[in-house]
Structure formats: structure tokens, C-alpha cells
Structure 1
Amino acid sequence: MGALEVGLPERVPAAGLPSRVEIWEVGPRDGLQNEDTVVPVEVKLEFLDRLAGAGLTTLEATSFVHPKWVPQLADAEQLLAGLDRHEGVRYPVLVPNERGLNRALDAGVNHIAVFASATETFAKRNLNTTLDEQFAMFEPVVTRARAEGLEVRGYLSMCFGDPWEGVVPAAQVVRVGKWLLDTGCSQLSLGDTIGVATTGQVTNLIGSFVAAGVGTESLAVHFHDTYGQALANTEAALRSGVSTVDSSAGGLGGCPYAESATGNLATEDLVWLLEGLGIEHGVDLAKLVETSVWMAGRLGRPSPSRVVNALAG
């Protein structure tokens, strides 16, 4: 496929929004982790190379979760060994525990993420622990990683709703989130794991963190589009002062531990929104669309991204 002729929306800046947004691209990890068919490592490496070539500067590359739980990412060491690292691009990886941290350190990783739960039931189902016992599991991982000079991000799942517990109280989310930040995470990503959040919830939760003394520069948002609210929720987060947004090229991904979760916010859809609001993002939309069309071909199905389909159709 040749270069796409991609038009862009009119830039109409609005007051009260960040001047620039960091896009945290999760497609190579979160986007691919629950694919039924194992994607060859060569395809994953080209995917990462194409994403970097499109201007994305944070690419979550893989995970050191046990292969039994996420077979798709069993090739983590092989992928990192074959990675053609672009200058100025970060390649964080997800680690679940100290064993995963050991593997990450052996692979020469310098940026990791841990994955905690905001609810009791999801902690039991996903982490095989309780809401409070997870602290004892993550504390040595975060502390040791920081001592080794690594950056650590904290993911917090089920921040807005849980399929077993319903609406999650903001105070509960803030308690777990503050613990992660106080323990050493430099950033906290607030996950709408099953895609049920609304703009009011987003504004309220971010405001609750700010009231608890957490600055918005320490927060990121991670929305799923189950009810078609991901872009609206993103704008609500931006208006609340958040300037890091997680997204997945082509809208890939869901959550292997939450069956009702549909795809992540598509990076192309996010870029279209940011472009229209006059917010800098650094991404070449044409190259990104080409990348998602290419990956959709490798997966054997069309991209769910509205922008990909509009521009490549």
C-alpha cells in the first residue's frame, strides 16, 4: 500500500486543555495479549517499528506475565532481544511480580509497569490475592525496580465499574492509587477496564485524586469503548488536567480476565480528537493508519477504529 492521502480536521483550540498530550501506545502488549492465534514475533517487531516510525514515543512492548496465563506474550525475551530501538522512544514492559521483574532486569529493561486492582473481586480473580494483600505483592517489585534505576508505572484496573461489584467508590480507587504512587510509581494509569465510565465519573475521580493531594501530572487514563464513551471520557480527563492517555493502534485489545471488555480506545481516534482540539501529539496519522491496516491484515479482520475505516476505506 502506498502513502495514504489523509485529511485532518480543522484545528480549533479550546481553553483549559493541555498544550500537548503524551500518547501511551499499548497495542503491542494490551492490544495483542488476548489474541487467540499467536502472532509471530517477526510481525510484532515490525508492528513496533512501524509505530515508532509513525511518531509514537512510548510503546508498551510486551509483558513478563507467565506464559500459561498469556501465551501470546511468551516470546517476551525473544522480542526484546530483536527490538530495533528508535532514538527517543521508550519501550516499557508489564511485570506481574518479582519473578517477572527478574526477567525484565535480565532483558535490560529500564521501564516497567505493574498491574493492580481497585476492587476485591478482580484482585482475587486476576491476581489471586485480596484488595489489601496485593500491596505486599507489589511493594518489593516497585521498591526493587526503583532501586535498580527503573521507572515504574502503576496500572489500576476497574476504577469506574466492576462486572461483579458494580460501581466502584472513588475513595476506594484513590486509596489504592495513592498507595501505588507513595510506594514509588511515577505515574498511575486509571483503567476503565470494562468501558462503563461516563464523563461525570471521570471528572469526579480525577477531582478526588487532586483533593487527596495527587497532581494530575502523575495521572493517566486508560479507556475501553464498550459503550462508545472512550473519546468523551478522554476529553473529560483532558479538561480535568490529565495529559497522558493510553490507546491502542487500530483499537486492538480488551482484557483476558474481563469478558465484557471490548477494545481499547483506538490511537487513530484519539489523534483525530487531539488534532481537532489543537493539542500537539507528534503522530503522523497517515503512517499510523497504514500500520493499523497492515496489522489488521495480519490478524485477518478489519480494524474497529472508526478513523482507520474512514481514512483507509
Structure 2
Amino acid sequence: MMSKAVEIFEVGPRDGLQNEPAFISSEDKIALTQALAGAGLRRIECASFVSPKWVPQMADAAQVVEGVTPGAAQLYALAPNNRGLQAALATPVGGLCVFIAATEGFSRANTNISLAGAVERVQDVIATFRAEAPEGVRLRGYISCVTECPYDGPVAPSEVARLAELLHGAGCDEISLGDTIGTAYPEQVARMLEAVVRVVPAEALAGHYHDTAGRALANIDVSLDYGLRIFDASIAGLGGCPYAPGAKGNVDTELVYAHLIARGYDISGAPDRAGLAQAARLARKILGRTEGAIDAI
């Protein structure tokens, strides 16, 4: 019998905010992260240690990580290369994230590097992490476009499985599988997971589903059937990807929470609905949006 314990991994402060055109202050980013931690979310991705030239919104990554009250939650940050990794490890992060795309087209659009080059780079970053990261810091790997790519079309489940096995074998504690353009059908997710769980344990996998076509919750349901118990979500549905046309954002944390509770699952950290609603209001206030305006992202 599969466990009824699940976890929501919050990505709003990083994935949700990184593409906002107007710079959001460090104080506001810290306040949002604190609100999410106060709501009971145990793990929060709050920063990205990338070049400010490419992602200006994340220029204050170190200030944000260092500004959150220690112990409020386990903070994660994205590190695309060794320079970012070194900068992140100089802060009190609890987890680092690396990423790779499942297709040639998205890899070149997103990072200006071939898929083979991206594989080589991520392996190098993981090797450095394993050699230099303090004990207790966890490593998370992202795979983008696990069912379909905006440039290359449908993605073979075997390719996703190959990359997931590579990341897991290299040292990632957890691998998040991303429906980056948010158009996957449950049947596509099932075919992908059928291949992936053969090579990586389900407990080491997370589902990262954008809700562009309104099927994120259905894809979570399929993932639950395959044994996944970790799901990424973004408060107020914030986010999107500039290299995935039409992808309006990650699935809303409040929607995922309500859906999992309705299905009888126990959510790690016991986040409360009132706290999540308060964090969502803060997110909208920070971005100058009114209730419901998030749908237009």
C-alpha cells in the first residue's frame, strides 16, 4: 500500500518571480519566503545564482538567502554552473538545484548549449557539489520538457528516463520532472513515468506541472498512481518560462493543497490554508496584481 504522505515543494520565490520585468526588492522576496515558511511549507526554492546579465531579477540571490530567518524552512537555490554553485555554497542554503532539458531545441534556447554540452556541464557541477558541499546540503535535479518541447515536439519517454537515470546516478537526491509548456495529457505523463520509474525510484522523483491547459491536477493524480509523493507548486500560480511560449505558470500552491487534502493525503509540514492564502495575497500585492489577475500571466 502506497504512502498517503505527500510534500509540496514551493518554487514561487524563484521560478515564480525570476521573469518579472520590474525588479522586486530583496525585502519583498524575503517577506514572501518568510510568509511561505510561516504557512508550513518545509522546502522553498527562493533564489537562483545566475549571471545578472541573463536573469536580472535574481541579482540579489545571496541577500535573499541570507535574509530569511534561519530554520524557517529549508531553502533551495538554483545553480546552473560551477560559478553559481560556489556562490550558493557561500550562503546558508539547505539545497542546490541543477537543471537540464530533455531536448536539443529547448537546451539551445534556454542555455545556448547543445544537449550533449548541457549533460557534460551538469555532470561537472554535480561532481563539484559532491566534493565541496557541506554535509546535509541536498541536491535536486530538474528535467525540462519531459513530455513535449515547444521547439522539437513530442519527447520520447526513453530519453527522459535516460537523463533521470544519469542525474540520479551522478548524485542527485531528487529529480523533478517538468511539463514546462503545461500542455501534457495524463496519458503522456503516464507513458513518461512508466519509463522513468524503471530506472529511478519513485520516492526520488517530483512532479513539476505547469497549468497552461488546466491539466496539472490530473497529471498530479497520475503521478500519485506511480508512487510520486513530491509536487512542485508556485504561490498564486506565479511564473512561466520565456523559452516556453504560452506557458502561463506553475500550478497554484493553494490548488494543489486543496486537491491533495480532498483526496485524503497528508501534507508534510502541515501547511494551513489560511497561511497559504495570506502568502498568496502578499505575492499579488508585491506584484501589484489584484485577486484573479494571476490568470493573465
TM-score with structure 1 setting the length:
0.89
Deviation at 1:86, TM superposition (A): 3.1
Structure 2: distance between partners of 1:174 and 1:240: 14
Cα distance in structure 2, aligned partners of 1:304 and 1:166: 31
Aligned to 2:67, which of 56, 65, 82? 82
Structure-2 change in CA distance of 1:305 and 1:283 (3 Å): farther
- Say which is worse superposed, 113-122 or 253-262, in terms of deviation: 253-262
Query: How far apart in 2 are the matches of 1:161 and 1:208?
Result: 15
Q: Secondary structure at the match of 1:59?
A: strand
Correspondent of 2:115 among 127, 131, 138: 131
CA distance in 1, matches of 2:6, 2:115: 32
Which of 57-66 and 76-85 deviates more? 76-85
Q: Give per-residue Cα distances to partners, 1:126-160, cap 9 Å, x unaligned.
A: 12221122121111211121222431110000111
Map 1:211-290 → 2, pairs under 5 A? 211=198, 213-281=199-267, 282-290=270-278
Could you tell me the percent identity over the aligned residues? 41
CA distance in 1, matches of 2:71, 2:38: 8
Q: 1:114 matched to which residue of 2?
A: 98
Q: Aligned partners of 1:177 and 1:80: how far apart in 2?
A: 28
Separation in 2 of the partners of 1:113 and 1:70?
16
C-alpha separation between the residues in 2 aligned to 1:80 and 1:274?
A: 29
Deviation at 1:43, TM superposition (A): 0.8
Q: What is the CA–CA distance in structure 2 between the aligned matches of 1:304 and 1:286, rounded to whole Å? A: 17
Partner of 2:29: 44
Structure of higher CA gyration radius: 1
Aligned with 1:177 (options 158, 164, 184): 164
8 Å contact from structure 1 (residues 52, 86) kept in 2: no
Cα offset, 1:252, TM superposition: 0.5
Q: Distance in 1 between matches of 2:79 and 2:54?
A: 13
SS of equivalent to 1:258: coil
Larger CA deviation: 197-206 vs 265-274 = 197-206
Question: 1:304, 1:237 → 2: CA distance?
Answer: 28
Amino acid at match of 1:253: G
- Are the aligned partners of 2:234 and 2:250 in contact in 1 as well (CA < 8 Å)? yes
CA contact (8 A) 1:251 1:304 kept: no
**Structure 1 residues 190 and 93, CA, compared in 2 at 3 Å: closer, same or farther?**
same
Q: Give the superposition deviation at 1:62.
A: 0.4
Q: Give how far 1:202 is off.
A: 1.2
Cα distance in structure 1, aligned partners of 2:154 and 2:243 = 18
Distance 1:256 1:204 in 2: 27
1:304, CA displacement in angstroms?
Answer: 4.7
Superposition map of 1:184-223 within 5 A: 184-211=171-198, 213-223=199-209
Which range moves more in the overlay, 127-136 or 215-224?
A: 127-136
Distance in 2 of aligned mates of 1:161 and 1:305: 27
Q: Which has the higher strand share?
A: 2
Aligned to 2:129: 145
**In structure 2, how many angstroms separate the alpha carbons of the residues matched to 1:92 and 1:17?**
27
Query: Shift in Å at residue 294 of structure 1?
Result: 2.1
Uncovered stretches (5+) of structure 1, i.e. residues with no partner: 1-15, 307-313
What does 1:59-74 align with in structure 2 at a 5 Å threshold? 59-74=44-59
Aligned to 2:285: 297
| Structure 1 residues 245 and 303, CA gap change in structure 2 (3 angstroms) | farther
- Residue 174 of structure 1 contacts residue 209 of structure 1 at CA under 8 Å; is this kept in 2? yes
What code does the residue aligned with 1:278 have? G
Q: Which moved more, 1:121-130 or 1:93-102?
A: 121-130
Instruction: Report the aligned-residue RMSD.
Output: 1.7
Shift of 1:188: 0.7
**Secondary structure, in 3 states, of the residue corresponding to 1:99?**
helix
AA at the equivalent of 1:233 = N
Q: Are the counterparts in 2 of residues 251 and 303 from structure 1 also a CA contact under 8 Å?
A: no
1:55 to 40, 44, 54: 40
Q: How many residues align?
A: 290
